[in-house]
Structure 1
Amino acid sequence: MNANLVRQLQDSVLAVWFEGWVPGQAVSGNLMKKWFGKDEAFDNRLRTVVPDTIQRGFWKTHTRYFEHWKSHIGFHQNSKPDPQARIVARHAFENGYEDKLHPVHRAWLYMPLEHSEDKVDQALSVMKFQQLAEESSDTYKELFESFSKYAQDHKAVIDRFGRYPHRNKILDRKSTLEEEEFMKDHNGW
């Protein structure tokens, strides 16, 4: 693929995902709501940009974001994460690439591990998010402490059930009675 085209795709997708955020500044509450909530205008903008990048293969090198983008562009929100995202994350760890990323970008590299149903991935997710929180500047400390807590919460569910019960229906898995009880009070994240 043409290097200029790759750069244009990268810039267009990341401009939407990180719109309004400048490295060194705190991540706004509005951006957090877009990332983790439901914002139809934001989702529609991603729907116009992301499919083109998927079609052109951009996601293969930016899976740290793609795994989370899927829920914004109409993929099943509770579906199993893309294993390619975990492979890319592990490759980044093994080759020192994560250290070259801004801490906010690094957090997105860790998300596929948090969304994994693998206990090893969960332990690594908790470790990476805790490390990020411990090493962060005051600007990002609250954000990364929150991410670290969510990683611990995700791990607790996997430790308890070995899977995310809220994915059972979409993945055509039968829920246990304990999982059904759990889901009465916990509908996922």
Structure 2
Amino acid sequence: MERSEEILAHWFGEEPDDWAAPADRHPLWFGGGPQVDEDLRRRFATDVERARAGALDAWKATPRGRLALLILLDQLPRNLFRGTPEAFASDPAALALALEGIDRGDDRALRPIERTFAYLPLEHAEDRGIQARGVACFEALLAEAPERVRKTYESFLDYAVRHRVIVDRFGRFPHRNAILGRKSTPEEEAFLREPGSSF
């Protein structure tokens, strides 16, 4: 199995339903924590380094290769470098890769659950226009979703909208300020005291 496919197999598991978001993947995708982070570091730290250095750019020639590269540049750094500026350092590269893939129609060649991760770099962007485009991608995905998974894809859209609302309001994610050494405005400080203000 090619390395890109090994990464995707680990990330998505062996769920036969193209739309399903398997419960056993949720801790990996959304939970984090020291054990998950350490396991991912052990398995994929070298791949993340190579992706960041451009050594895996050939993967973007195929939709699934591009997706594996997006996982390495957008998702895994949030685990490997949690709580440090490095967690966000490859976001610009991931965003450029994601936008290029969407413009090429690569996302349409992926399974629906995989498309979710092709769109997350847009959700992570501190840019109002990109946020709007990301929400539109999740709206389109929900519009296609069969009834059995609608709640899951409604949740994905809800998270995208919540991210957009924050960036629309502040132009950035205030919960990143401390990590990135940015000074918070008084309005941001008040927002950060609200429950559920960070992701």
TM-score after normalising by structure 1: 0.86
Query: Structure 2, unaligned stretches of length 5 or more?
Result: 60-65
Q: Kindly indicate which of the two structures has a greater share of residues assigned to helix.
A: 2
Instruction: State the match for 2:75 in structure 1.
Output: 68
- Give the 3 Å change call, closer, same or farther, for CA 137–55 of structure 1 in structure 2: same
Match of 2:186 among 163, 177, 180: 177
Instruction: State the match for 2:44 in structure 1.
Output: 50
Match of 1:88 among 97, 102, 118: 97
- Please state how far the C-alpha of 1:23 moved relative to its aligned partner: 3.6
Secondary structure of residue in 2 paired with 1:168: helix
Spell out, residue by residue over 1:116-142, the C-alpha distance to the aligned partner (whole angstroms, 9 max, x if none).
Answer: 001111000110001101111234322
Paired letter, 1:38: G
Instruction: State the match for 1:35 in structure 2.
Output: 29
Secondary structure of residue in 1 paired with 2:122: helix
Matched, 1:188 2:171: no
RMSD between superposed Cα atoms in Å: 2.2
Paired letter, 1:64: L
Instruction: State the match for 2:62 in structure 1.
Output: none
Matched, 1:8 2:14: no
The answer to which of 103-112 and 7-16 deviates more is 7-16
Secondary structure of residue in 1 paired with 2:182: coil
The answer to whether the 8 A contact 1:114-1:151 is kept is yes
Spell out, residue by residue over 1:20-78, the C-alpha distance to the aligned partner (whole angstroms, 9 max, x if none).
Answer: 53343622233123211124443333112212223443477434312011122234367
Secondary structure of residue in 1 paired with 2:172: coil
Instruction: State the match for 1:126 in structure 2.
Output: 135
Q: Whole-Å Cα distance in 1 between the matches of residues 151 and 92 of structure 2?
A: 29
- Please state how far the C-alpha of 1:90 moved relative to its aligned partner: 1.1
Matched, 1:104 2:121: no
Matched, 1:136 2:132: no
Paired letter, 1:48: R
Runs of 4+ in structure 1 over 4 Å off:
none
- Give the 3 Å change call, closer, same or farther, for CA 137–58 of structure 1 in structure 2: farther
- Please state how far the C-alpha of 1:8 moved relative to its aligned partner: 2.8
The answer to whether the 8 A contact 2:48-2:77 is kept is no
The answer to whether the 8 A contact 1:70-1:76 is kept is no
- Give the 3 Å change call, closer, same or farther, for CA 53–83 of structure 1 in structure 2: same
Q: Whole-Å Cα distance in 2 between the matches of residues 20 and 188 of structure 1?
A: 31
Q: Whole-Å Cα distance in 2 between the matches of residues 182 and 65 of structure 1?
A: 30
Query: Structure 1, unaligned stretches of length 5 or more?
Result: 1-6
Q: Whole-Å Cα distance in 1 between the matches of residues 34 and 13 of structure 2?
A: 15
Instruction: State the match for 1:4 in structure 2.
Output: none
Q: Whole-Å Cα distance in 1 between the matches of residues 154 and 19 of structure 2?
A: 16
